[in-house]
Each structure stands twice: as C-alpha cells, then as structure tokens.
A and B are shown apart, each in its own frame.
Chain A
C-alpha cells in the first residue's frame, strides 16, 4: 500500500499556542489530501479537503481561521491548529488519495493543557 507519514506523532502544548502538523505522501504525489479528527471512541470526522495549489475546502462547522491548511506541494500538506485550547485535544489524522483509495498517516495525538 501507499505510505503516508505524519509529524509529529504526538505533541503537548499550552493553551493559546499554535501547533503545526505535517502530512507527507512518501512514494506518490497527492493532489488531494484530507484532514480528519477523531475523539476517543468516536468515528473519524472529516475536517477539510486539502487541494494542492488552491484553498482547502472545509466541512461545515470547522473554523477555517482556526485550522489553517496549506498544501504547497504534491507531497506535503500542513495543518496548523491556531490558539489551541483543551477542547482541541484530539487525534488528528491525514490521508492522501491515490487512485480511488485513501491511505492514512499514523496520526498526531494533540494534548492541549
């Protein structure tokens, strides 16, 4: 299968700081990547679709000014959680589309204290 990496794998930050998460497709180019969030014992919730060279498309209820997405190249998308608060603590997972299938990165566990 395809390989997607994410960095960092976990991060603890103080309330009010910003955190940047990187998602890379390692062995293929991805014009489209996706960012999900998963709270404990809940399903994956799509936050936004990241499009290379254009603005991301956000799902309803997701604040685009709080969750900044940049897809500057065909192998890299970044998600920045700005002014993080404890309620933003979650498991953030990216995925990249190759052909008709989506492959997930290993996820980033964010804890905001």
Chain B
C-alpha cells in the first residue's frame, strides 16, 4: 500500500460545479499536509497547507480527518483555469511524501 494515495481521476466537471478530492495517508505520525497544483510540464505550486482540522482560501477548502487518516480538497464554483493535477502530500519527518495526483478537467 502506498503511503499517500489519491484517486487518479480524471474528474470531468462543468464550469461552476463543486468538486471534491480525497487523499488517504497511512503514516499516523504525519502532522502536516499539503495540497499542490501541478500544470502540465510545470512544477507543483503550493495551494494550501493543512495543519489542524482544515483550511479555507476563497473557493478552496481543505479538511483533515485524523481518525480516518484522510485529507480532502473542495473546490467551489470551478473555473476552466482550475484544470490541473492536484497533488496531496504528507510529511514524513523532514520530508514530504506525495500522492500520484488527481486530474481535474473543468469544461465549459
């Protein structure tokens, strides 16, 4: 079993839709979690950090469920520009372990 797992998708949604991704982690010692956005052939860009129960930034909400060991990312009012691969990451000591990413395609 991978340490961080994500549904690869793709999630195909219309503009304006609300979409949610889950990410499960197996290391119960992980304390910090992150969502990154990666566009094709580009580097990952930090979207949100999740240290406690959750975090909200505009249309994006991340939640952490320690009991079930998963984090989620909710995107409201999807835009075409939200199309990308979303990577979740969990800390393992000084390092980050990444999931394989979830592909989101927002269509008009």
Question: Which residues in window 91-108 of B have CB below 8 A to A?
Answer: 91, 94-101
Chain A: which residue is nearest B49 at the CB level? A101
**B66 near A: Cβ within 8 Å?**
no
> Does any Cβ of A come within 8 Å of B43's Cβ?
yes
The closest CB in chain A to the CB of B32 belongs to A100
Give the bracket for the number of chain A residues in contact with chain B.
20 to 34
Nearest CB in chain B: distance from A27 CB, A: 15
Which of B36, B43, B96 interacts with A105 by CB under 8 Å? B43
CA distance A103 to B42 in the complex (A): 13
- Tally chain B residues at the interface, Cβ within 8 Å: 21
Closest B residue to A99 by beta carbon equals B49
The B-contacting residues of A in range 14-68, CB under 8 angstroms, are 32, 34, 42-44, 46, 49
Chain A residues contacting B46 (CB-CB under 8 Å) are 1, 101-103
Chain A residues proximal to chain B, CB less than 8 Å: 1, 32, 34, 42-44, 46, 49, 91, 93, 97, 100-107, 109
Given contacts A44-B98, A104-B45, A107-B43, 7 further A-B contacts (CB under 8 A): A1-B46, A43-B87, A46-B96, A49-B94, A93-B43, A102-B96, A103-B46
A-B contact pairs, 16 of them (CB 8 A): A1-B46, A32-B94, A34-B96, A44-B44, A44-B87, A44-B98, A46-B95, A46-B97, A100-B49, A101-B46, A104-B36, A104-B45, A106-B43, A107-B42, A107-B43, A109-B41
